[in-house]
Amino acid sequence: MKDLQLYTNNLSVDLATGPDIQDITPDLQTWVKDTGIKTGNLEVFIKGSTGSVSTIEYEPGVVTDLKRAINSLAPPGLEYAHEQAWHDGNGHSHVQAALLGPSVSIPVRDGNLTLGTWQQVVVINHDNGPRKRTVLLTLVGSS
């Protein structure tokens, strides 16, 4: 068995007012290739309580559908208890992000992310203003 190696990195992603969705798959794949890891696991985690990470087919129709679904699950403009404490208008943002989750785990095989043909990794800003999001990457594997 080859020795396990650990690599970490951060991506900075500028996102518009939510829900805004951006594909980060090319950045992830390039970084994995640069590490030389052939077999392992990549953890992708977004920092912050109003952002999420998921996988979708990143094409305009699905992006539009996902935005509509997100806003249907936790619509902006409803009364949220969070507003009573902070009065910042983003109670829906916290709920949306919690429903989608902050991370995904992707197997790496032969130096590639093992995503489906129509599957990309996306970061989502749910907040009521544009945000610069930090995405933390942790790769464990062997070369």
Domains of the chain: which residue ranges?
5-142
> Which positions ≥6 away from 103 have C-beta within 8 Å?
43, 44, 45, 46, 53
pTM: predicted TM-score of the whole model, two decimal places: 0.94
By DSSP bridging, strand 5-15 and strand 131-142 are antiparallel
pLDDT band at 131 (very low <50, low <70, confident <90, very high): very high
Per-residue pLDDT, 2: 77
Sign of the C-alpha dihedral computed for residues 97, 102, 108 and 111 taken in this order? positive
pLDDT in tens, 108-129: 999 999 999 999 999 999 999 9
Compute how many other C-beta atoms are within 10 angstroms of the C-beta atom of residue 113: 18
CATH of span 5-142 = 2.60.120.460
> Which positions ≥6 away from 86 have C-beta within 8 Å?
none
The answer to whether 130 touches 13, Cβ cutoff 8 Å, is no
